[in-house]
Structure 1
Amino acid sequence: MLYRFVLMLLAGLLAWPAQAVSVAFINPGRSQEIYWEAASGAMFQASKSLGLQLEIQYAERDHLRALDLVRALVARPAAQRPQYLLLSNDYGTAPEMLRLVEGSGMQVLMVFSGIHGADQRLVGPPRDKYPFWLGSLEPDAEDAGYLTAKALIEKGRQAGLTGSDGLLHVLALGGDRSTPSSAARNSGLHRALAEAPDVVLDQMVYVNWRLDTAAEKTRWLIRRHPEARLIWAGSDQIAFGAMKAWRERGGEPGRDAVFSGINTSTQAMQSIQSGELSVLAGGHFMTGAWGLVMVYDHAHGRDFRDEGLTLVRPMFTLFNPERARRFLQRFGGHELPLDFRQYSKVLNPRVKRYQFDVSVLLR
C-alpha cells in the first residue's frame, strides 16, 4: 500500500506544471520613449514565447531611481524576488547595482550596456568577485556606425554628390562624447571614412541625442560647409533634426543630399520607404529579448559560458524599403507575433552558437 502511495505521489508531482522562471528588468529609459518601449515589447513577447515570468520597471533615465528599484527588489521577501535580474550599465550604475544585489539570491545578466574601463577593473570579470553576475550581452555599436557610413558613402557615389574638388563631403552628428555606445558608433564612422579615399569629413559635432539640437547645429554646418551633401547621424532622431534644417534651406532629403540614421522607430521606417532617409540600421532594441533566451537556457541547465561571458554581437541590419515594410508588419502592433524558441539551445540542441539577428525574424 505504501509503495502504491509513493508511486501515486511521484506521478502527481511529475504532472504538476513547473513554476515559470521569474525575471525582472530595470529598464534605464523612459516608459514613453520609443526605443525603450520597443525593447520592452520585444522582451514581453520573448517571455511569453519562452514561458518566463517577466516584470519590467522603468528608471525614467534617472540613475538614482534605477538604484532605488534594485534596492526595492532586494528588500522583497526571498520567495518574491525574481530568480534572474537583467540590468543595463547606463550612467555607470552597474557596480553599485551588483553590490546591492549581493547575497539576495538573484542572478544577474547585463544587457544593452556592459561594464568597461575603470568600472570593469573595479568589479572584475563576471563570476569572479560577484559569482551571481553571469555575464553580459551587448550589441556591437561600432558595427552600426560602420554599416551606416559605408552605405551612406555608396549612396553618395551613386547619386554623384561630389564637390568641386571631386570628393564626397560628409557632415557627422554624433550623440555625445562620453557614452560607450556613442563612442563606438563614432568609431565605426571613422573606420568607414578611413577606407574611402574619395571622401572627406568636413566636420563632426555632438548634439546630445536631441532632434532640436541637431537641427540647430546643422543650420550653421551647412552654411560653413556648402559642398557637404552626405550627413551621417548617430540616431534616427538626430537624422530627422538634420533633415529639418536641410528642408528649411530649400533642399530635398534623399535627392540633393543623403542622410543616414540608426534605430527602428516607425517614423524612421516610413522615411526609408519614402526615400527621404537614405540609410538606416537597427535591431539592437532586441538585446533584452535575446538576453531572455540566454536566461531561459541557463535556468534549464545550458550555460552560455562556452561562447564567453561578455558577449558583443553584431545585432544591426541595414533596412531597405522592403525590409522596412516587413519590419512594420511584424513590429508595428502591440503584440509581436514572434517565436523566440527557435533561438534556444535547450529547445534546439543543434544550435551551437546564438544567432541573434533581427533579419531572421523578418523572413
Structure 2
Amino acid sequence: MIKGRRTGWIAAFLGLCCLVGGLGGAPPSAAAQGPVRIAVLVPEGPGDPFWARTLDFMNAAAADLGVALEQHFADGDREAMRALAERILTRETPPDYLVFPASERVGPYVLDVAERHGVYALLINAGLSDDQRDLTGGPRVNYTRWLGQITPDDLLGGYLLGRNMFRYAHGRGITAPTGKIQLIGLTHSAADESALDRIAGLELSADEFYLADIEYLGLAHGSKARAQQVIQRGYESYPGTTLYWSTDDMQALGMIEALSTRTRRVPGVDAIVGGFYWSPWALQAVLDNQIGFLMGGHFMIGGAAVVMLYDHANGVDFAPIGKEQRFGFGMLHAGNIKQVAPLVWRRDWSWVDFRSFSRALNPERGDYAFSASGFLQARKK
C-alpha cells in the first residue's frame, strides 16, 4: 500500500515532468564580515564515488559564490560521524553552517549538538525517518538551528522511470504474449525511505498505464550478484516479462548479466532495463544500449545546498518558498547520453553558473526549482 504522504508529491510536481520565519531564519553575523563558512560532514570516505561527485559539485558552487567550504569524512563509521560532528561544532571557531545527510540515524544527535552550540544545520540527500521527525517536529520547530533540508524527489523519480519504461515498451511492442507489459523490480532496501518512495512512484506509474503489470518486487540489497539470482528466479516465474526496474545501479547491472546469460532476453532489444545513479559503470551501460533509462544527477544536491546557504547568509531566507526542498532527478537515455556522460566523467563543473540560481543575487527569481537538468542547462555566458 502506498502511503498518502508519498502520493501527495505527484500532484505538486507533475507539471515539471518534462524537465530533466522563526529563530532559525536569522543569518549568522559572521557571514557579513567574510566568506560564508560551510562544513560538510560526509558519512563515507574520500573514495566513495557518489560523495566524490557531490563534493566536486559543491566545490564548484563554493568557488562561484565565494564560499569557504571544508569537508570531513566519517569513512562509513556511525560513531565516527557523531564524533566528527562534536569536533566540528565545539571547536574554537566553528563554521557558520553544517551540511550533512541523516544517514545511519545520526540526524537527531547531530542536530542536537548544532542547536546547543549555535550552528545552523542543513540536511542533504537523506532526511529524518518518520519516527525521528515525530520527535524533532521538523525544521525550525524543536531545533531552531535546523534550517531545513534538500532531498531527492524519489517518488517522482520512481514514477518517471516507470512511466517512461512502460511507454517505451508499448510504443515498440516489447510486450508479453498477452499484450500486457510485465515488469520485475528490485529494491536495495525494504525499509529505506528513498527506496520506498521510488517503489511507490513505480506503483503509481503502473496504476496509470492500463496495460502495465508489476509481477514481482524483489530485494537484492544493492548487490549485483544477488540481483542476478533474484532476476533468474523472477524470469522463470514470469518469462513474459520485458521490463526490469531497479532502485540502484549495481542491481541494474546484475539484471543485465542475468538477462544476458540466464534467459533468452537481450537487454536493449526485447528487454528494457532502468535504474538509478549516474555511476561510471551505469553511464557506460547506457552508452552500450544495455540500460534504457537511468535516473540520477542527485549528487548535484550539494551545489544546491551551497546556493541556499549563501542566500540565507546574505539575508534571503528560503523558508518562505519551502524549508524542505525537493531535487529533481535527470533521466539519461540513448537520446542524451553522449552529451551528458562526458560532463559527468570529466567532473569539472566550473562552467555551471551557480550564481544564476541565487535568489540573493537575482531578486526576481521565484522558487529555486533545483534539478539535474536545470544545472546542466545553466552554462556561464
Q: Which TM-score applies when normalising by structure 1?
A: 0.90
Specify which of 47, 51, 54 is matched with residue 36 of structure 1: 51
Q: 1:228-271 deviations in whole A, cap 9, x for unaligned?
A: 11101111221111101111125421012110011112222232
AA aligned to 2:63 is K
Specify which of 70, 85, 94 is matched with residue 55 of structure 1: 70
- Aligned residues of 2:89 and 2:95 also touching (Cα < 8 A): no
AA aligned to 2:106 is T
What SS does the corresponding residue of 2:216 show, helix, strand or coil? strand
In the TM superposition, what are the counterparts of 1:321-340 in structure 2 within 5 Å? 321-337=334-350, 338-340=352-354
Partner residue, 1:67: 82
Specify which of 62, 82, 86 is matched with residue 99 of structure 2: 86
Is 2:305 the counterpart of 1:305? Answer: no
AA aligned to 1:352 is G
In the TM superposition, what are the counterparts of 1:6-155 in structure 2 within 5 Å? 19-77=34-92, 79=93, 81-155=94-168
**More deviation in 230-239 or 54-63?**
54-63
In the aligned structure 2, how far is the partner of 1:209 from the partner of 1:36?
17
| TM-fit CA distance, 1:141 | 0.5
In the aligned structure 1, how far is the partner of 2:370 from the partner of 2:225?
34
| TM-fit CA distance, 1:331 | 2.6
Partner residue, 2:12: none
Partner residue, 2:24: none
Q: 1:249-294 deviations in whole A, cap 9, x for unaligned?
A: 2542101211001111222223223221111111211112101100
Partner residue, 2:361: 347
Change beyond 3 A, Cα 1:202–1:332: same
In the aligned structure 1, how far is the partner of 2:290 from the partner of 2:137?
46
| TM-fit CA distance, 1:158 | 2.5
In the TM superposition, what are the counterparts of 1:259-298 in structure 2 within 5 Å? 259-298=273-312
AA aligned to 1:54 is L
In the aligned structure 1, how far is the partner of 2:50 from the partner of 2:162?
21
- Aligned residues of 2:301 and 2:327 also touching (Cα < 8 A): no
Q: 1:138-179 deviations in whole A, cap 9, x for unaligned?
A: 121111111111111112113322222221111110121111
In the TM superposition, what are the counterparts of 1:197-216 in structure 2 within 5 Å? 197-216=210-229
AA aligned to 1:74 is L
In the aligned structure 2, how far is the partner of 1:347 from the partner of 1:22?
18
- Aligned residues of 1:269 and 1:325 also touching (Cα < 8 A): no
In the TM superposition, what are the counterparts of 1:161-180 in structure 2 within 5 Å? 161-180=174-193
In the TM superposition, what are the counterparts of 1:239-278 in structure 2 within 5 Å? 239-249=252-262, 251-278=265-292
Q: 1:315-351 deviations in whole A, cap 9, x for unaligned?
A: 1122233432222233322432222111001111111
Partner residue, 1:8: none
In the aligned structure 2, how far is the partner of 1:154 from the partner of 1:340?
34
- Aligned residues of 1:106 and 1:132 also touching (Cα < 8 A): yes
AA aligned to 1:267 is W
Partner residue, 1:9: none
| TM-fit CA distance, 1:113 | 1.6
In the aligned structure 1, how far is the partner of 2:225 from the partner of 2:47?
18
Structure 1, unmatched stretches of 5+, are 1-16
Specify which of 181, 199, 215 is matched with residue 186 of structure 1: 199
In the aligned structure 2, how far is the partner of 1:85 from the partner of 1:295?
10
- Aligned residues of 1:281 and 1:318 also touching (Cα < 8 A): yes
Change beyond 3 A, Cα 1:83–1:139: same
Specify which of 217, 237, 248 is matched with residue 235 of structure 1: 248
In the aligned structure 2, how far is the partner of 1:21 from the partner of 1:289?
14
What SS does the corresponding residue of 2:204 show, helix, strand or coil? helix
**More deviation in 19-28 or 317-326?**
317-326
In the aligned structure 2, how far is the partner of 1:55 from the partner of 1:72?
13
In the aligned structure 2, how far is the partner of 1:188 from the partner of 1:134?
28
Runs of 4+ in 1 over 6 A off after TM superposition: none
In the aligned structure 2, how far is the partner of 1:64 from the partner of 1:189?
35
- Aligned residues of 1:343 and 1:355 also touching (Cα < 8 A): no
In the aligned structure 2, how far is the partner of 1:203 from the partner of 1:146?
17
In the aligned structure 2, how far is the partner of 1:314 from the partner of 1:123?
23
AA aligned to 1:41 is D
What SS does the corresponding residue of 1:362 show, helix, strand or coil? helix
Structure 2, unmatched stretches of 5+, are 1-31
In the aligned structure 1, how far is the partner of 2:230 from the partner of 2:373?
34
AA aligned to 2:78 is H
| TM-fit CA distance, 1:18 | 5.0
- Aligned residues of 1:167 and 1:198 also touching (Cα < 8 A): yes
Q: What is the Cα-based RMSD across aligned positions, in Å?
A: 1.7
- Aligned residues of 1:323 and 1:362 also touching (Cα < 8 A): no
Change beyond 3 A, Cα 1:135–1:361: closer
AA aligned to 2:269 is R
- Aligned residues of 2:115 and 2:144 also touching (Cα < 8 A): no
Q: Which TM-score applies when normalising by structure 2?
A: 0.86
